[in-house]
Amino acid sequence: MGTRTGTPHEARFSRPGPRIPGLLRARVVRRTCPVARLPIPVLALLVLVAAGGITQQLPDPFIVIELWTELDPMIADGGVRPVPREVAVERLVEEARVSLSGMVYGYRFVYVPGDPSRQVSEEFDLTPYGTLARGDPGFDVLQTWVDDDRLYARVSYTLTREQQLWYSGWHSSAHPRSGGVGRVPFIGGPGVKGAALADGVRMAIREHVRQLEFNRPQRSEGAALLAEGPDYGVRRGQYGALVVAFLQIDSLNPYQVY
């Protein structure tokens, strides 16, 4: 696999590095699957399994993602440059926690498309179903390596049985996939990459809603789960995040009168 040189669309890469076991094991806190407003196929699956109605074939019990952070950011954030390795590792830990939370638990969303003809501004609210704690024993940093002034890491997360059921329900054929590229100016420094992820989810929802409703709807609500880790890049003064998500649309409200 090649070295990334910029855009979110380019290939991932792999280069071995030292293993850092237990890096994220500072505090043990477990979050189980949320029980309120579950996506319908997921809720049905959990009920059937609990009742013994089916024998569920669970997915692989772990997820692996690759991510990177800059050792010499183009925009200074007021800290030491180049960035000390321990600081860069902490940034990767936080980025991995956010990304994996989106892959394990997902989000609720409310999306109001912008409509200039009605003087309606776009609104988007994304609320996590749950978050993985920094001390969760399911985390492990498998590899790290440096290339082109970036520190890369391969991070894994081992799912509990409850998380596997939730994850399996989302990865069923009942949920369509949609992709989008989120962008934020890199003037804010490496800390704004999470905003690019959220914007990528917004763009994936926007694209899917457009396919469902030719005319802009008034409002849409539903749920989303990251189908894979976000693919980050830098281009034209922006951090970009290529996001692919499973979606469930719970409501799609059209305008009653033009």
Which tens digit of pLDDT belongs to each residue from 106-132? 999 999 988 888 888 999 999 999 999
Average pLDDT over residues 219-241: 94
pLDDT band with cut points at 50, 70 and 90 for residue 75: low
pLDDT higher than 90, residue 135:
no
Average pLDDT over residues 95-115: 95
Average pLDDT over residues 144-167: 93
Average pLDDT over residues 186-196: 87
Which tens digit of pLDDT belongs to each residue from 25-46? 322 233 334 434 445 444 444 4
Q: Which residues contact 89 (CB under 8 A, 6 or more apart)?
A: 20, 23, 144, 151, 153
pLDDT band with cut points at 50, 70 and 90 for residue 65: very high
Domain extents for the chain? Answer: 40-253
pTM of this structure: 0.76
Vertex 247: Cα angle to 66 and 142 (nearest 5): 15
Q: Which residues contact 248 (CB under 8 A, 6 or more apart)?
A: 39, 40, 41, 175, 222, 223, 224
